[in-house]
């Protein structure tokens, strides 16, 4: 419930007895949200349930302070989502301690993700400008957790994406998470900072597909497919990924360009001070023959150079891979990779590094 107070009179919008002053609203029911967003600048959304096949649509006005409290949950429905859609400019959003968005992933997971027979909703889509979002906790995304599209000057700080329940060996057989990407960044997203954040999931921890001037700092990834650059025929430029830890991932660092992609560019991407522990398949995997395939299929096609990779810089990348994994794997097409500089890349495992088509300056395969 919420109410707000004009300078002249007190107007009870819903049946709330909560006393709030000025431009403040307390929301405890899904149907109150739109009015609150249009009316108030200081909004608390407290423990709501979003009806099945409905979005939590947050079109946030300039100058708004939006706070989440308690459990934000979503009734089950097999559809594409998203469960949450956030837009707007010049606002601040935060979660109170103990608050959580719960996607009820175990009700959807089948080990197949988007390859399964039923639709599963993406969790959250963000398209904002000049905003800060802090202290947000997401739990058990059905598939992709956070998709950031067309955003500019956005800071995401101190988020937790917790999908440990979806790990194989934790979830029941054939009921684990798949395609549960943490942060997917694209559609010309520029001037983005993600920092001080933790991701437990079963696909890319972070995947950058299109954008410029992006910094990923102090992120902890567990069980993922790594910190990824995903070349799909667009531009990824001026990216810094630094001071981060990746544990028990399929790939620690993953730079991939897609077969059959239109022309694109990856340029001036720096990975710095990255610890990689116990990667299952690759410590570093860079390849120009990626295909988005269902589980169990291999990628053995020859590489292509439609998306060129320039100025890929690695500084102080260290750690280990599990037995059977390759510490560093590079597969570049002819005229596909240029001007990489690597310093202090120290990844250890039983197998040898494998470089085909290109060897970075400062590194020996």
Is residue 1 pLDDT above 50, yes or no?
no
pLDDT in the model for residue 293: 78
300/102: higher pLDDT: 102
* Residues annotated catalytic, as ranges: 203, 225
- pLDDT tens across 313-323, in order? 999 999 999 99
Strand partners, 74: 50
pLDDT in the model for residue 360: 98
User: Quick one: average pLDDT of 323-344?
Assistant: 98
Helix (H) or strand (E) holding 16: none
Is residue 354 pLDDT above 50, yes or no?
yes
For the chain, percent of residues with pLDDT exceeding 90: 91
Is domain 19-356 in CATH 2.160.20.10, yes or no? yes
For the chain, percent of residues with pLDDT exceeding 70: 93
DSSP summary character for residue 204: -
Is residue 3 pLDDT above 50, yes or no?
no
- pLDDT tens across 148-203, in order? 999 999 999 999 999 999 999 999 999 999 999 999 999 999 999 999 999 999 99
Is residue 337 pLDDT above 50, yes or no?
yes
End-to-end CA distance of the chain: 63
Considering the chain, what is the average pLDDT of its residues? Answer: 94
* Cβ 43 vs Cβ 66: under 8 Å: yes
- pLDDT tens across 252-272, in order? 999 999 999 999 999 999 999
Q: Number of helices (H) and strands (E), helices first, in the chain?
A: 1, 29
pTM of the model: 0.93
Helix, strand or coil, per DSSP, at residue 73: strand
Structural domain boundaries of the chain? 19-356
When mean pLDDT is compared across 82-96, 189-203, 297-311, the lowest value belongs to: 297-311
Instruction: Name the band, by pLDDT with cuts 50, 70 and 90, for residue 18.
Output: very low
pLDDT in the model for residue 4: 38
pLDDT in the model for residue 14: 40
Structure tokens at 54: 């409905």
Is residue 277 pLDDT above 50, yes or no?
yes
User: Quick one: average pLDDT of 25-30?
Assistant: 98
Strand partners, 343: 315
pLDDT in the model for residue 15: 32
DSSP summary character for residue 206: E
pLDDT in the model for residue 6: 34
Instruction: Name the band, by pLDDT with cuts 50, 70 and 90, for residue 294.
Output: confident
- pLDDT tens across 222-256, in order? 999 999 999 999 999 999 999 999 999 999 999 99
pLDDT in the model for residue 296: 67
Is residue 16 pLDDT above 60, yes or no?
no
Instruction: Name the band, by pLDDT with cuts 50, 70 and 90, for residue 22.
Output: low
Is residue 8 pLDDT above 50, yes or no?
no
- Residue 5 neighbours by CB distance under 10 Å: 15
pLDDT in the model for residue 292: 84
Is residue 7 pLDDT above 70, yes or no?
no
Q: 128 to each of 83, 190, 314, 356, how far by Cα in Å?
A: 17, 11, 31, 41
pLDDT in the model for residue 17: 30
pLDDT in the model for residue 205: 99
């Amino acid at each position: 419930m919420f109410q707000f107070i004009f300078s002249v009179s007190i107007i009870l919008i819903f049946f709330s007895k909560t006393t709030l002053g000025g431009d403040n609203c307390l929301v405890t029911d899904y149907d109150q949200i739109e009015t609150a967003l249009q009316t108030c600048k200081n909004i608390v959304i407290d423990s709501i349930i979003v009806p099945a096949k409905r979005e939590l649509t947050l079109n946030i006005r300039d100058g708004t302070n939006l706070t989440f409290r308690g459990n934000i949950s979503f009734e089950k429905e097999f559809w594409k989502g998203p469960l949450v859609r956030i837009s707007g400019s010049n606002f601040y959003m935060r979660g109170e301690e103990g608050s959580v968005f719960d996607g009820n992933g175990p009700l959807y997971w089948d080990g197949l993700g988007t390859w399964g027979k039923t639709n599963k909703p993406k969790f959250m889509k963000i398209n904002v400008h000049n905003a800060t979002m802090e202290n947000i906790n997401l739990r058990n995304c059905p598939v992709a957790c956070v998709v950031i599209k067309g955003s500019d000057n956005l800071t995401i700080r101190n988020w937790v994406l917790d999908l440990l329940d979806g790990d194989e060996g934790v979830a029941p057989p054939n009921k684990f998470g798949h395609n549960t990407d943490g942060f997917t960044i694209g559609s010309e997203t520029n001037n983005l900072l993600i920092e001080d954040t933790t991701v437990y999931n079963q696909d890319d921890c972070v995947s950058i597909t299109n954008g410029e001037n992006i910094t990923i700092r102090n992120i902890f990834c567990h069980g993922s497919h790594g910190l990824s650059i995903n070349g799909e025929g667009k531009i990824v430029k001026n990216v810094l990924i630094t001071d981060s830890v990746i544990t028990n991932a399929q790939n620690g660092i993953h730079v991939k360009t897609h077969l059959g992609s239109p022309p694109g560019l990856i340029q001036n991407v720096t990975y710095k001070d990255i610890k990689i522990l116990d990667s299952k398949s690759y410590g570093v995997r860079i390849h120009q023959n990626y295909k988005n395939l269902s589980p169990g299929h291999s990628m053995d096609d020859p590489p292509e150079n439609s998306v060129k990779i320039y100025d890929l810089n690695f500084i102080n990348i260290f750690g280990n891979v599990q037995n059977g994994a390759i510490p560093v794997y590079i597969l570049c097409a002819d005229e596909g990779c240029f001007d990489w500089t690597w310093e202090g890349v120290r990844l250890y495992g039983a197998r040898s590094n494998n470089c085909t088509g290109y060897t970075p300056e400062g590194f020996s395969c």
